[in-house]
Chains A and B, each alone.
Chain A
Amino acid sequence: MTPSKDVLRSDERAIYALRELYRKFGYSQYRVGKFEEYDLYARNKSFLVSENVLTFTDTNGKLMALKPDVTLSIVKNISFEEGVTHKLYYNENVYRTSAESHGFKEIMQTGLECVGDVDIFAESEVVMLALRSLESISNDYILDISHMGIVEGLLDSEDTQGADRDDILGYVKSKNTAAMKKLAASGRISEKLCDTLCKMTQMYTTLAQSLSIIEEFVTDGKMRAAYDELRHISDTMSIYGLSDKLYFDFSVVNDCNYYDGVIFKGFINGIPDSVLSGGRYDRLLLKMGKKCGAIGFAVYLDALERFGKEQIEYDTDVLLIYDTDTESKSIIDTVKLLSDSGKTVKTARRADEFVRYRQLLKIGKGGIEILETND
């Protein structure tokens, strides 16, 4: 049985739509447990968005954690063979702190990982699936993409030191060109680099249109490779017919320092925060001693909860009032009759102010009586 549209909330609808989408492209579901040994997160702190992990002691004294992230649990279990690509998706709850609530929050997350022998086609397919994931939620969406190779290439072109580098990345992230200019004025970066950074951060068009501008700034091999990758993705997306939704945004940079290739973030008009984020993270696998590629993304379904929520006018179509001496059979028959005609029915002994109804019916000895109709 497929549930009717009004039964599902928009986040629940999204889960089904996303599952269907990922299955269509041969991704299989991967389930992980709710708990994980804390040690895994302690070793890979920089991969987490926040260092705060909800921990507890297991019955055997081991320190355990409620999963703040699914990707780590998946990649740790994956074995690598030449030429094999694991295509997986998951739908799990994760536990993270949120700045707003000043405490831990349960977040429903659906995501997708492509791990193993990830070539440029597989990578483009993941970007396409990210776009389609957004599309399945709303038609008014944008996927912003950038490439860490370009960001790092630009910063490597000059002797930018640790603290300065973090500062610059912060300015890039907030499109703060005024601060970059100040940095140049104080001689910590060159005018030329400042100019390039400003131009790149202020540019905001589709990836296809940005490519020629990006190419101007390519200086070394690392940046060239990154540029070629972006160009290939852009070409592939135009085959899929999605290129007008893929934007190049230089301000999409790492929240954690594991992403090392393409990096992307998805947005839906009407939701004030990003709903999808992902990228290529070969570096994490390398750190785990696996020499293979990995790319993936997560969709934050909690952000959808308030999206597209229509104001419900009525709690029920019919509020059916009965007396103590009404026979059960006649109540049941009436309810069946009404619900067969597609109406929702709530039975009660009396109408109260908390129930909003379209129609108020009373069932008594003399049959059904219409007391009130709102429409």
Chain B
Amino acid sequence: MKQMINIALPKGRLGEKVYSILEASGFECPSIREQNRKLIFENEEKGVRYFWVKPSDVVIYVERGAADIGIAGKDIILEYSPDIYELADLGIGKCRMAVAAKKDFCDRRDGVLRVATKFPNIARNYYNSQSRDIDIIKLNGSIEIAPILGLSDVIVDIVETGKTLYENNLEPKQDIVDISAILIANKVSYKFKNAEINGICEAVRKNLNL
């Protein structure tokens, strides 16, 4: 018997793109394109069930087995370090995690560095590896405004083109890590639904020439 695979998609542009890839790989679910307020979309024939969740929640759904597989940004995986399998790097949604600050800012390492970020764990790990004392200011959005208003010295955030930074008189100072979308799987689902998950994984790999 073919088992249904629950797939958590991140809401937003990345999720749309990922769904297009899955669709092109043979796991389409036409009802998802319809304009309605449904939350779960199913294609029994292909054995897939999709649902949209907040991007940072994908890892939680997958780690706890509510979703068998999902697509999450590497930034989310690094931040929450969930116990999951990272089956494929899809190479889309590419950007980087970087330290940014005002153009004229220079870290003289003579005091505690104030860091504003949405990713406290990534920031802490990065500065720990440099033995740097920091004060983390956890924000939930509009991080760029923090150094401008003097709330923080630097920010640790995702940089795609850097346009927002430059327009606000900021610039990226150091890169921390490259980010892209990762196909992740629940460890137990991978065992009990191995054929199905591998099937999806292989089809996606082939479609993307990975």
A interface vs B, CB < 8 Å?
A: 140, 142, 144, 174-179, 204, 247, 249, 251, 267, 269, 271-274
Contacts A142-B192, A272-B188, A273-B188; A178 near B84 (Cβ below 8 A) = no
B191 and A247: CB pair below 8 A? yes
**Central interface residue in A142, A249, A271, A273, by most chain B CB within 10 Å:** A273
B window 56-70: CB within 8 A of A: 63-66
- Complex Cα gap A140–B191 (Å): 11
30 A-B residue pairs with Cβ-Cβ distance under 8 Å, sorted by A, are: A140-B192, A142-B192, A174-B84, A174-B85, A174-B86, A175-B85, A175-B86, A175-B87, A176-B85, A176-B86, A178-B86, A178-B88, A178-B182, A178-B210, A204-B190, A204-B191, A204-B194, A247-B191, A249-B191, A267-B187, A267-B192, A269-B192, A272-B63, A272-B64, A272-B65, A272-B186, A273-B83, A273-B187, A274-B187, A274-B188
Tell me the bound Cα distance from A274 to B89 in angstroms. 25
A267-B188 contact in complex given A272-B64, A272-B65, C-beta closer than 8 Å = yes
Output the least CB separation between A95 and chain B (Å): 21
CB distance from B171 to the nearest CB of A (A): 26
**A174's closest neighbor in chain B, by CB?**
B86
Residues of B within 8 A of A (CB): 63-66, 83-89, 182, 186-192, 194, 210
From residue B43, how far is it (CB to closest CB) to chain A in Å? 23
Output the least CB separation between B1 and chain A (Å): 13
Smallest beta-carbon distance B3→chain A, Å: 10
Contacts of A178 in B (CB 8 A): 86, 88-89, 182, 210
Q: In the complex, A249 Cα to B65 Cα: how many Å? A: 19
Contact B188 A179, beta carbon cutoff 8 Å: no
Which listed residue (B86, B187, B189, B191) contacts A179, Cβ 8 A?
Answer: B86
Q: In whole angstroms, what is the CA distance A142 to B189 when docked?
A: 11
With A and B bound together, what is the CA distance between A247 and B192 in angstroms? 11
Point out the residues of chain B lying under 8 angstroms from A174, CB to CB: 84-86
Alpha-carbon separation in the docked complex, A140 to B1 (Å) = 14
Query: How far is B86's CA from A34's CA once the two chains are assembled, in angstroms?
Result: 39
Q: Which residue of A lies closest to B68 (CB)?
A: A272
Contacts of B88 in A (CB 8 A): 177-178
CB distance from A180 to the nearest CB of B (A): 11
With beta carbons under 8 angstroms apart, the residue of A144, A176, A177 that contacts B191 is A144
CA distance in complex: A247, B89 (Å) = 26
Q: How near does chain B come to A198, taking the closest CB pair, in angstroms?
A: 12
In the bound complex, residues from chain A placing their C-beta under 8 Å from that of B187 are: 267, 273-274
Known A175-B86, A272-B188; 9 more pairs at CB < 8 Å: A144-B191, A176-B85, A176-B86, A177-B88, A178-B86, A179-B89, A204-B191, A272-B65, A272-B66
Bound Cα distance A177, B88 (Å): 7
Chain B residue at minimum C-beta to C-beta distance from A171: B86
Distance (Å) between the CB of A102 and the closest chain B CB? 13
Contact B85 A251 (CB under 8 A): yes
B158 CB → nearest A CB, Å: 19
CB distance from A178 to the nearest CB of B (A): 4
